[in-house]
Amino acid sequence: MRSAHKKTCQLIIDTENNYLGALKGNQGNLLKTVQANFVPEASYTEISKGHGRLEKRVISLCTTLDNIKPWPGLKTLVRVESERQFKYGGHLRRETETRYYIASFLESAESFAQRIRGYWGGGKQGTPCPRCDPG
């Protein structure tokens, strides 16, 4: 599931499945609320090298949802902080990005890292369903 739409999440929960969806700006205030209230409870760090770049990803989890508005089946907030270093035009460049996800299941930070990396990995670990990621 690329982005987490409330109606789609409810349908997934109603059919006794789980979701892992990216938060984007189109979910109203949910993204802002998650950013403001995210307190990491567990994390996992992975570093990868390849194609002339070095990438570090820190995957953090939060299961304290007290200040998060109700969302169908929500159990886990996930934050992925990425830092990439690579050469461009002979100069070393550094890019950072932070992404947030919501999930209807509990798992380790390492397992979430594998799910997220597998989804965006383009089929290296199987082809995921575009609407859901069974937990």
pLDDT tens-digit map of 68-123: 989 999 999 999 999 999 988 889 999 999 999 999 999 999 999 999 987 655 44
- Residue with token string 């070095």: 54
- What fold, for 6-120? S-adenosyl-L-methionine-dependent methyltransferases (2.20.130)
Is residue 60 within 8 A of residue 78, CB to CB? The reply is yes
* Burial category of 25 from C-beta neighbours within 10 Å (exposed 0-12, middle 13-18, buried 19 and up): exposed
Structure tokens, 60: 């953090």
pLDDT tens-digit map of 25-58: 877 689 999 999 999 999 999 999 988 889 999 9
